[in-house]
Structure formats: structure tokens, C-alpha cells
A and B are shown apart, each in its own frame.
Chain A
Amino acid sequence: MGARYFGAAVKRREDPRFLRGEGRFLDDVTLPGLLHAAFLRSPHAHARITAVRTEAAAAMPGVVRVFAFADLERWMKPLPLFGAPPPGLAAAIRFDLRQAPQYPLCRDRTRYVGEIVAMVVADSRARAEDAAERIEVEWAPLPPVTDMRAAAETGAPLLHPEWATNVAVGFTHAIGDAAAAFADAEVTLEETFTIQRYVGMPLEGRGVVAAWDRRDGTLTTWNSTQVSHFVQQGLAAVLELPPHKVRVIAPDLGGGFGTKASGYAEDALIPIAARVLGRPVKWVEDRREHMVGAAHARHQVHAIALAARRDGTILAVRDRIWLDLGAYNVWGIVLPYNTVAHLIGPYRIRNLHVDVKGVVTNKTPNAPYRGAGRPETVFAMDRAVDCLARRLAMDPADIRRRNYIRPDELPYDFGMPYRDGNPLVYDTGDFPAALEAALNAVGYDELRREQGRLRTDGVHRGLGISGYVEGTAIGPFEGATVKLDLSGRVSVATGAVNSGQGHETTFAQIAADTLGVPLDWVTVIGGDTAAVPFGIGTFASRSAVTAGNSIADAAHEVRQKLVQAAALLLEASPADIDIEDGRAAVRGVPASAVPLARVIQAAIPTFARPGVVSPDFEATAYHHVPTVTYASAVHVAHVEVDVGTGLVKLLRYVVAHDCGKVINPLIVEGQVHGGVAQGVGGALYEEMVYDESGQLLTGTLMDYLVPTAMELPPIETVHLEFPSSRNPLGVKGLGEGGAISPPAAIANAVDDALAPYGVRITATPASPARILALIEPRRL
């Protein structure tokens, strides 16, 4: 296989249609006789439902049917739950794990504002919304639980009384002997850090269209999801159909970020309505619904302590961690254990003790969002390390130089499992090199000198560093089918949905190189369950590794079939056949070259003769990955703080990162930029705020502040390529990385800028009001 496309800066093949406004998103799906759904969502954070009356709503103009729980009881099965510990992890750690069933429509109790109580189906969305206002519900309010630490205490009001606690995930974990290390330490440092509730905010919200064909008993649903095969499994159970009678199609997605990878009530409710009514039904989430109905994320408190020598060597870390999981604990141990598995990151720390409580509260359920526990834990760790450096009068770069794991220590075995149950062993990388590369790119030493000069003029600039090592591409596999048509053109189908990652480009690069065909011969289909029987989906920075290697495997198998057929056609040995640029030839005999179309046609039986081989130019592969690959990066932020207003201006942002072999540097940079933008949102702008009664105060994009291009600095990317040893392509996951370090790097930079005031940033977002409140009592 020649690498003609792999590694090249191929322009994104999907962009022309998006740039022309010709993307086919969920809302572009329309069908004859289409009906529209709207939902009545709970206005209460916590309440019992004693009656739902739908008669007045049902009598409204255009209304086809109104459904409450009792009307659909036959179809009401709990929504999917994820995140039970895999065997290797369950053997190592005793998890106290509770997950509660959530029904698509509330049965008799609501546990967050926005939970769906009833569904109206009408001939237009506007009329469905008019009718939803007329549904009468009798509520018996219950005391709301909104503070994660208070919720974890005994005596707190309970969300799920049968649990007798609000702690949904509890565990402790240790490596080494943290107690001894703390007892002997020359220096200890303790601080509490809070990272706020902030969420994936895809430009396109979620949406579902479903059509029931009673002639053959088939349900077809279009769903703006990252995980069409998961949706298929859930629907097969709900509708009591074999999976092949449920086709789930993910059309073009306007972003996903994990928000579209959870299991949702609407995924089931729209197909149920289509099944019951025998007519196609559509629902497109509006932004107000998205704020309360789509998964929330982040939101942790870390009471972290470091033990160190006076020379800056970190000996141990101790952390008490609370996670606010929202109302049901949909994702089991995923967020809590991700948080623990990424706490130490690039640091050489052999002693760890954590005590973790994942708590349910009366808020929208949490799910993994780009980073999934890593931005939170890296914020706590890298802020703590900067506080330690300040205490020891060390430069933040120097304390990292002293403690980062060196490349000669790799593979580095933590002596604990990763979340997939396999040993947590870093495969490849060079964290000190990434640190130096990022510092050089930003011009660290010069900016340090400039910092002192500017301070005398009242200009407060700061530098902040953060590094992470990220387990990417969780297995166990992804499905891919590669097949050729009569003209030798290639269709690649995979369970990995493209939610903006550029799969139509990178997957085509892999397939074209492996097969020996031009790039534009390849069509990539992601997320159609009819196109590949088994699949998982796109999340956890997994698609390049899992789908990419499956595509390479399948394409390799198809190439072998082509070689066999060409050998027979050209009367040569298979070992002498070359395939290049869509033509097969006997090596060294250019005149023998034939187009692949001829090879394929020679395999098709005719009236005169059978084909040279069976015309089977198709293969499906499910590449199994042994465990995750470890991507890593060091980010450096350069900021200026206006001490008169508290405003932070991002001046520059540098990322030096390793994602293994780079398939396409343009796409890699785009991924880094997008991730950094979301990280900037977490650092400075975005926060889902609830009041004490569990009402969401940030219900629109006027109050929930997503950064725009205007707020972003130039982002510079340095690629370090350390191929993974864990898959044939040598690639590592990339999608989430950009979002992990910005909260820590930017908070460190703000803290550094304000060093003359001696303030300490312990929470994000670092809003102007928060910053001024820190500065004001310490004005010089």
C-alpha cells in the first residue's frame, strides 16, 4: 500500500455542500403526510404528578393525538443506561453503583425541569405547541436537591427514595502509599477547585423523524445521533422488533460533542408515535428544549492535596471528588472513573488516594461531553500544581520539567486499570518534548521578561500551562464494510457517524490508499444501520482508531480479492499484481494495466462463461483494539487581564500535541481549534446556572454564553507524531483533546497575570465579576 493520501492535507470533501447550504440535516428530512410533535416539559425540578388531563389539548385545532404515560404504557420501557464497570475494572475497584430507570414520559414523578410529561402530535409544530400549553397537570412539589455536596449528606431529600441515598457512584481508590508520602512530605498544599456545569452546544440541536411501514412491519427513523446502532438496539427492544426491521439513519450532523451520544426519550417517543398513529412524525429540538432536555455535563468539586519535596518533586496526590450527575446517573461509572484515570496525567506521581462521590441532583442528566471528566480533573491537578509552584517560588514550567514522565520511562504502567478494565499503561509519547515545543512556540522566556516590564505600566499579562494524557478510542471495535461496484468505485460504510470530524475525507484517504484507487472514487456512509450490521458510533475520540483500522482491514481484504481476479485475468501470479490509481497491472509490465472495472467485469458471469472468480469484491471488518491509545498535549495560554473591569483577553493560545500518526493535518488542526474553542467557553464564559429551587436561570443563549469567533485568539498548533503501538495505522484519538486543557491553562494564566494581587482562581468560568471580586479587596 502506498501512502498517497494518508498524511496529506486533503481538503474536506464534505465542505462544498455545507458551504453551499446543501447539507442534509435532520430538519431537511420530510415525508408525505408528516405530522409534528411537541412536548410538555416539567416546570418543576422535583414533584409528584397526581393527574394529567389532556382533553382540552386534544380538542385544539390540528391536533391528532395527545399522549401521557398512561396512554402509552404498553410502550414505556426505561431509557438505556450505560457505564457498568467492565470485568477488569470491577475486579480492581469496588463501586457502590446505582442507576435509576427513566421512562420516556414521566410516570408519576418528575426529577428535573425539562423532563417530558406529555407529547402532542399535530399537523404543524406551532399547533402542537399551542395544544401543549393546554395540557393540565396536577403537581405535588417535592423538596429539590441542587447542591452536590449537600445532596451527598445523610438527611438530604432523596431523588430515588428506594436508594436511601443520593450517592449514585461511590468508591475509593489508591496506588502506592499516599498517607506515608504526606506524612514525610516537606511541603503539602490543599485547595478546593470547582468546575462549573457547562455543556455541549451543537449548532444543530437534536431531532428525530420516524416512519412506520405496516406493509412489512419496518420502522425507519432519521435521528441526529452520534450512535445510530445504539439507537437501533434501543428501538428494537421498545418496539419488539428484530433489529433488521429497525433502520436508523444519522443524516448530516451539525455537531455532536457527546451531547448526541446519550439515550434520549425523544429517540423512542417519535418512533412510538409513528407506530401507534401509522403516520410519519417529526420532532426538531428547539434551543430552549436543548438547554433543559439535552444532556448536561462537567460540574465537579475537587478537594485536592499535593505532597512534595522542597525541590518541587511531587510525591503524592490526594483528592476528594464530587460529581453532579443530574437526575438519573445515565452513564454509570464513566464520568467518575474517567476523572480518576486522568487525574495524574503527565506527572510522575506514584502515590494516589481518591475518594469519589457521584451524586444525583434535580437537574438535567449529565453525559460525557468532549473530554468527559478530563477537563475537570486536569483543571484541579494543573491548578494545584501551579499553586504549589507559587508556594515554592518555582516557575510553572520548571515544576513541570521536574515532574513530567520522561520518554525513557514509557511504556509507563500506573498499576491500576483504565476504564475499559485493561491496565493503564501509556503507550507512546514525549511529554517533556511537548512542553518545550509549546513553550518555544509561544516564546515563553521572552514573554516572561515582557511581563515584568508591562506590570510597571499597569498592564497585567499572564502565561498558563496545562498538560494532559488522554486515553482515547475506547473499544472494543467499530464495524466497516467496503465494497466495489461494477465500475470499481468504492463505497465505505461504517457505524462511526460523522458529526463534523471529516470522516468523508479521512476514511476515504485510508480506503483509497489501501485499495490503490483515486480518492474521489470513494464514498463514505456513516451511521446507517442498514449499511453495516454491527457498529458502535462516534464518541470518546474513537473513530479514527476503531473505524479507521476496520476500514483498512476491510479494504485490504477487498484488495486481495481484486489481486486474485486480476491475476487470473492477466494470467500472472497474484504476487506479481500491482494495483495503483484504479488500475491493475503485472509488475514491471505497464502495458498490461487494465482498469479495475475490467477486472470486476471479468468476474461477472456471462451467457458464455462463468466469471474468472466469484464477483465478490466486498468485505466487512470489526477491528478489535487491545485497549485505548494515549494521546497527549501541552497547552499554553497568554492572557491580559483588565484590572479595572475584570475582563480577560486571550492574546495567544498554543497547543503542542501528539495524536499518533496524522491522517490529515488540516482536519487535525480543525479538531484542535474546535476543542480549544469549547475549552475557552468553559474557562471564561459558559455556565448552566440553577437557583435553589432547581430552576434553570440560563435557559437561552443570551444567558448561556458560548464564545464566538470574536472571543477566540489565534490558535497555534505544533504536531508531535508518536505512532501508537496498539493499532496498525499507528493513530490515536484526537477529537476531544483540544477541549481538555483550556480551563486549566487559561485559569493558570489569569492567576499568573494577577500574581501581584496574590489572588487564587479556584473556579471557572473566570468571569469579569468573579475576577474583580478577587482583586478588589487586595487593591494596592
Chain B
Amino acid sequence: MKPPPFAYVAPRTLAETLEHLAAAGDDAKVLAGGQSLVPMLNLRLARPALIVDINRVAGLDRLVTENGRLRVGALVRQRGLERWAAREVPLLAAGLRLVGHVAIRNRGTVAGSIAHADPASELPALLLCLDGTVVAESRRGRREIAAAALFQGPLVTALAADELITETRFELPGAGAGWGFHEVARRHGDFALVGVAAVIAREGGRVARARVAVFGAAPTTVRAEAAEHALVGHEPTPKQIAEAAEAGAAALAPVDDLHASAGYRRRVARTLLERALTDAGGRGAA
């Protein structure tokens, strides 16, 4: 279980990094936390000619909030965001606590997990739920990609081979917004069989805005728009929530794998939608 031969560079600046990525084309892989890449190298499932280690690049480890937006640099570790979020955005903290284990989160980066785009992992769903974007940079320039456009398939994103995510951005839920996060994993820290992240904002008792992301139940993490529509304009009563959950689950296109059938995922998505929306309804200000 040793990786096949590869060349390795550890640039110090973003410009140098982008230069390497541009020169290598499809043959380069970015190493940040290494929590997905290194196992894939050792299993010889990934065979890049060049590893571009960005850990020494200056300026990529900032975590700031600005105009209701959270900006997370490419080298911010999952554990770093989790600690910050524990006070500020409990939804983020709740989801991050279920990413692997502490030792993994100490190394794994927020941007790395999002770039890896595993359909059953928590961070892409959190990005989607919080109307997030990523900032992608290459020698050709800089663009901002919305979460919904970023995730294109299992481990497939809209990023070009020469692009690096330099920042991920999350919209902070408003002060009175309620949230819910539930997942079913075989063991603590495993990728989820199914999971749900939800935010509800209410005005005058009725749901004014709902954002619900489901993960592990489709080729990418997806918005449960049917569930959102079923709630907006209504009070989040148990009956309304059950209908929303039913609608959200019905719209999913899960697949079978070793650990659960498509039918299981759809059924449990309904359970978890119901639980997450109930939590969100109960936590928020009316």
C-alpha cells in the first residue's frame, strides 16, 4: 500500500501554486489535509504525476465574517471551523462534529472536503444549506461558484483542473433562524447513509424561508426543494412537517450500495427530514 511514484512541489505563494497547476494540467492533485487524497494514493486509485502541497502557501488560513458572510480560507482545518462555529453557528458545528474523528478534522480542510465532493459527506451539504459558494482561482482568473453549480456528480465538481478553491463562503443564518442536522451513519464518524441539514426562518409564525439539503441520497448533495416549498408560508406544525418530509423524500433519487438500499435511503431521508425540520421549527424564533 505505497503510492505510485509522483513528483512533489510545496510552493510558498498562491501565484506559484497556480503556476504549477496550470503547467501540470490534469496530472496534478492538490494536497491540503490529505485525508482523502493520501488513502487514494496508497490504494493506487489516484495516480497523479504531480502533488502540489499547499500547506506552506501564505494567506490561505483566514477565517473571517463580513456582512453576514463567513469566509473560510483554503487551509482552515475542519476542527478550526468547528471550534469557531460552536458559539457562532451551531448548525455548522453540529455537522462538523460528524466529519470523521477529531484527529481527521485536525488535518482535514473545509475546502478539501468540499472539493472532494463525496455525496455522503457533511460539508458539501452544509455549503448547500447555507447558500454557500467557493472562490476558484487559476492563472486564468478568479470566479465564484455557487454550491448548487459546484457539485456535479459523485466526486465530480465544476472546478477545472488548473483551479484551486482559495476560499469557501457561507451565508450566516439570521439571528432568529432555527436549524436541524441529522444523519444516520453505521458508526460514529462514517460517511452518512443519509443525512439532512435544515434552516428555517419564520415571520409571524409562518415559515418565510427554508433551506434543506439532503446528503447520501443522490449522486450529489441536493436541495430538498419540494420540502422547502411545502413549508414556506405555513406554520411548521407536525402535520405540515410530515408532508414536507414526505415530499422531500419522494423527490430523491438514491442508489443502492453495500450498506443500504435506495429504498432504505428514501425511507430514512423522510424520517430525518421530519426530525431536522422539527428541530429547526422548535429552535428558531417564531
Contacts and interface: CB of A to CB of B under 8 A. Distances in A.
Given A647-B184, A769-B260, A129 B2 contact: yes
A126 interface: yes
Given A645-B184, A645-B272, A707-B187, A772 B267 contact: yes
B261 interface: yes
Interface in B1-23: 1-5
Nearest to A709: B188
Contact of B189 (A286, A700, A710): A710
Contacts of B186: 685, 705, 767-768
A768 B264 contact: yes
Contacts of A708: 187-189
Interface string A348-385: 00000000000000000000000000000000000000
Interface string A259-294: 000000000000000000000000000111100000
A458 interface: no
A142 interface: no
B258 interface: yes
B1 A644 contact: no
A700 B259 contact: no
B48 to A, nearest CB: 15
Contacts of B184: 645, 647, 768
A70 interface: no
A92 interface: no
A533 to B, nearest CB: 38
A710 B43 contact: no
Nearest to B5: A130
Interface string B173-202: 000000000001011111101000000000
Contacts of B264: 646, 768-769, 772-773
A266 to B, nearest CB: 15
B271 interface: yes
A703 interface: yes
A126 B188 contact: no
Counting chain B residues whose Cβ lies within 8 A of the other chain, the interface size class is 20 to 34
A689 interface: yes
Contacts of A288: 1, 43
Interface string B222-264: 0000000000000000000000000000000000001111001
Contact of A711 (B2, B187, B271, B275): B187
Contacts of A647: 184
A56 interface: no
Interface in A128-178: 129-130, 133
Given A126-B2, A768-B260, A644 B187 contact: no
B268 interface: yes
Interface in B156-186: 184, 186
Nearest to B191: A702
A711 to B, nearest CB: 6
A768 B193 contact: yes
Contacts of B271: 644-645
Nearest to B188: A710
Interface in A635-662: 644-647
Contacts of B43: 288, 700
B193 A689 contact: no
A561 to B, nearest CB: 52
Contacts of B259: 703, 767, 769
A403 B261 CA distance: 41
A21 B159 CA distance: 42
A406 interface: no
Given A130-B4, A645-B272, A685 B260 contact: no
A780 to B, nearest CB: 16
A760 interface: no
A334 B261 CA distance: 37
A767 B187 CA distance: 11
B118 to A, nearest CB: 11
A710 B2 contact: no
Contact of A705 (B1, B190, B261): B190
B272 A125 contact: no
Nearest to B1: A286
Interface string B190-217: 1101000000000000000000000000
Given A769-B264, A772-B268, A705 B187 contact: yes
Contacts of A700: 43
A700 B267 CA distance: 27
Nearest to A36: B2
A240 interface: no
A776 interface: yes
A711 B268 contact: no
A340 to B, nearest CB: 33
B1 A287 contact: yes
Of the candidates A708, A772, A776, the one having the most CB atoms from chain B within 10 angstroms of its own CB is: A772
Interface in B37-65: 43-44
A698 interface: yes
Contacts of A767: 186, 259-260
Q: Which 8 A/B pairs are nearest by Cβ-Cβ distance? A: A286-B1, A126-B2, A644-B271, A710-B188, A769-B260, A769-B264, A645-B184, A129-B2
Interface of A: 125-126, 129-130, 133, 286-289, 644-647, 685, 689, 697-698, 700, 702-703, 705, 707-708, 710-711, 767-769, 772-773, 776
7 contacts: A644-B274, A698-B258, A703-B258, A708-B189, A768-B268, A769-B261, A772-B268
